[in-house]
Structure 1
């Protein structure tokens, strides 16, 4: 009997727990990961691709449909990872099949409905194995996982997920619900993304970046000059607010 590796992705803890319980209950499925966001799932898939993703659609930062499009482009026509959408909104059904989803589970669904979709996935992979000369094996995406973990940030810009090297970032400006990322490679054109500065701050390595103002995060290795109340990065002078002066003073002490 074919055994399929699976992950579950849902930003609702109860829904995520239910899908994981259904997967673990099914003999021919093996749960290898559970994620509360599509961005986290993408990071995991870079190092450990799977056969099937049980994927919610409505999620912050990156929706399930957007993740499906990223995977579709990365697979380049080789259907190595298949998606079963899980959502409370039936209006997404048509869009789900446009990205070649294997099936579509409408919440709330029971185990019988889940098992029917899972069996469809098993039948698909068994058919592929009979047709292909070699077993269908999920292949990694083209981005090296070590680079992603240590040197890159994924950011949703317009309708695509953009990979930005930490070494390319000069500073980041927060604008209410958006951020602007200024880069060394294109200093005249900032990347605009719908996310908060706080969310981005939590993703950045603290040894390389520092928040110096309510509206600014700076790359420490891009600072060319400092004063007691500001930093200079290229032609930009960025103020250090009182809230962040203690951490900034500690940073200054390394310069002295």
Structure 2
């Protein structure tokens, strides 16, 4: 598996650093670098790639506007000296957002995320599925181990993913969409506000699901789940 990538940055030193960093990863092939956004955009119109490293604050066109203009968007890793563009990167579902000067360890973390996500999106039939959920949180892509999910809670336009280590991940996503991303044999919706992992249900009584540390209600619309769960117990 090789991810084809390009880098766009108006700073020659930044381009050289990214090129040197990319050369350390056998899974990456740097196809080309560009020191102006216009040339990079023209290239991407006819030569799609898997991964794009792109600066945000460039003189001719910003990296944000360039990515918005692309009909086919690769995975995006923004590189910038400014923190105030994080929300725009989130809107464009950027994989990651690296502040300059770029530290190699931080770059490595972003690349590993790109490789993992590429594998996840390109699983072949019969291949062992990646037991993970990918969501956008805090302006970057976050990988969540399915086994670490205690339950998922709806909070209007957001969902809160409760994890076994007591941490939570907040992401802008409707319940319907996150349910589509989860394996149906392992996760069930029990209420308009809750999704639970089936294997973590300890008991169901009086239309309430008991998990390890919390008890959640089952709404009338999802009582069929109770009968199915009880049937196999």
- Larger helix fraction of residues: 1
Q: Tell me which residue corresponds to 2:136.
A: 156
Instruction: Give, in whole Å, the separation in 1 of the partners of 2:69 and 2:152.
Output: 38
1:203 aligns with 2:164: no
Secondary structure of 1:172's partner? strand
Specify which of 50, 56, 67 is matched with residue 4 of structure 2.
Answer: 50
Runs in 1 of length 4+ with deviation above 2 angstroms?
47-53, 75-87, 103-109, 139-150
Instruction: Give, in whole Å, the separation in 1 of the partners of 2:227 and 2:57.
Output: 51
Gap regions ≥5 residues in structure 2: 8-17, 34-39, 46-53, 72-110
Return the offset for 1:143: 3.0
RMSD of Structure 2 on Structure 1 (CA):
4.2
Instruction: Give, in whole Å, the separation in 2 of the partners of 1:242 and 1:95.
Output: 49
Where does 1:70-89 land on structure 2 (aligned, <5 Å)?
76-78=21-23, 80-81=29-30
Q: Tell me which residue corresponds to 2:153.
A: 173
Return the offset for 1:95: 1.6
Instruction: Give, in whole Å, the separation in 2 of the partners of 1:105 and 1:190.
Output: 30
Taking CA–CA contacts closer than 8 Å with sequence separation of 6 or more, which of the two structures ends up with the larger relative contact order? 1
Instruction: Give, in whole Å, the separation in 1 of the partners of 2:227 and 2:141.
Output: 35
Return the offset for 1:223: 1.0
Return the offset for 1:251: 1.9
Instruction: Give, in whole Å, the separation in 2 of the partners of 1:183 and 1:97.
Output: 39
Q: Deviations over 1:53-95 (max 9, x none)?
A: 9xxxxxxxxxxxxxxxxxxx9x9544735695589xxxxx972
CA contact (8 A) 2:22 2:30 kept: no
Where does 1:179-198 land on structure 2 (aligned, <5 Å)?
179-184=159-164, 186-187=165-166, 189-198=167-176
Q: Return the TM-score normalized by structure 1.
A: 0.48
Gap regions ≥5 residues in structure 1: 1-46, 54-72, 88-92, 110-138
Instruction: Give, in whole Å, the separation in 1 of the partners of 2:169 and 2:220.
Output: 28
- Relative to structure 1, is the Cα distance of residues 152 and 94 closer, same or farther in structure 2, using a 3 angstrom cutoff? closer
Where does 1:14-93 land on structure 2 (aligned, <5 Å)?
49-51=3-5, 76-78=21-23, 80-81=29-30
Specify which of 218, 222, 232 is matched with residue 200 of structure 2.
Answer: 222
Return the offset for 1:234: 1.3
CA contact (8 A) 1:96 1:104 kept: no
- Relative to structure 1, is the Cα distance of residues 149 and 95 closer, same or farther in structure 2, using a 3 angstrom cutoff? farther
Return the offset for 1:49: 2.5
- Relative to structure 1, is the Cα distance of residues 221 and 202 closer, same or farther in structure 2, using a 3 angstrom cutoff? same
Secondary structure of 1:150's partner? coil
Return the offset for 1:190: 1.4
Q: Tell me which residue corresponds to 1:95.
A: 56
